[in-house]
Amino acid sequence: MELLEKGRGWIIWLENIIFFSFLIISAFYYYYSTQRVLHLKEKAFNDEKLNAENYCVSVIIPARNEEKNLSKLLPLLLDQSVRPYEIIIVDDNSTDNTSVVASSFPNVCVVKLTTEPPKGWIGKSWAIWNGYLNSHGDYLLFLDADVEPSNVFIESLVKIHKKYGGLLSIWPYQRLEKFYEHFTLPFNLMIVYASNNLGFPNKKPSGAFGPVIFTSKKDYQLIGGHEAIKDSVLEDIKLGRLYSEHGLNVSNFLGNHTVKFRMYPLGLKQLFEGFSKNMSSGAITGGWFSFILAILWMFGIYSSMTSIFTFGGILRYFVTSIVLYIMAKPTGEYTFYDALLYPMYYAFFLIVFFNSLYLTIFKKEVYWKGRKIDVQ
């Protein structure tokens, strides 16, 4: 009986250590993220006059079966305070009306790819590379088709790039319409906070965010562009690393209300497939120290779900809900109800993670938009 009591005491002690570690790591994650919110930087440059003629921005959008998203995105790009020099839609062998929709807008160039990517190329990198080969601007803006920029979006990027140079990337604010989209909460928090992209635990980021990337063409050519990372599923991480390896600055920001997106609007199956394709591969991209902190942080979340029927367990549960709510608010349209439901979301997170491990380690292939992608 005494041994059982001692064992129980050690378990409680360990749970408390893990939980307090979760609180401390959360505080650091959140503090450093507040220094990287796009609209805060935009305000700092509000009084600066920008001569748009000096900035020829080529917007390149890889698009595979994106007719619905393009019909929303293109009007927003054509209404920018700093107008793009050109908009290039790369129709990546789509089976819908992607090219037709894109061609219906003025001043939009469509590059139509009618075959699958060559051996050794991943689809998105192949599409972006072809967009670059057809571009004429001095600056390149790579956009996913599902982003929703405000009308000062390109102006903000240009002004920030004047200060930081190198490569800029943005993680857009998550817009939610259907209930299943709220299951993105744990994935969103991991990408934003545990990726080592916002200054903690290392000031040098591990890579870049993929939905929005801005760079000068000169720097892009210097690092070899997407041709240098053509076989990587994690093309955004690898691209950011290439810039760092060449001594170029990499600056990552949260989009807040300057740029938003709906990641997987077609249903829970799309969300499951989308996160499964690269989740396990990206687990240690931030380095081992970042990985260990992320694991400890996650242990804190999962440990808060135990002993829920004790006073201490209930207290940990509600404190965890408050912390997750505070951390989730800058990343998307999450509510306090989502924070209270976090055990359900994090259970789903584990299912997706183990599926991703299975696909990556055993099958060595993942699937996305009807394509089988070999994992190295």
Least confident of 7-16, 171-180, 184-193: 7-16
User: C-alpha distances in angstroms, 284 versus 198, 271, 309?
Assistant: 16, 22, 35
Given a cut of 70, whether residue 68 has pLDDT beyond it is yes
Q: What is the pLDDT of residue 253?
A: 96
**Tens-place pLDDT, residues 210-249:** 999 999 999 999 999 999 999 888 899 999 999 999 999 9
Residues listed for the chain: 376
Least confident of 25-39, 92-106, 115-129, 281-295: 281-295
* Of 157, 171, 159, residue with least CA distance to 207: 171
**Tens-place pLDDT, residues 300-335:** 999 888 766 676 778 899 999 999 999 999 999 999
The pLDDT > 70 percentage for the chain reads 85
Least confident of 35-44, 124-133, 151-160, 216-225: 35-44
In the chain, beta strands by DSSP E:
57-63, 86-92, 108-113, 139-143, 147-149, 167-171, 173-174, 212-216, 250-254, 259-261, 365-368, 371-374
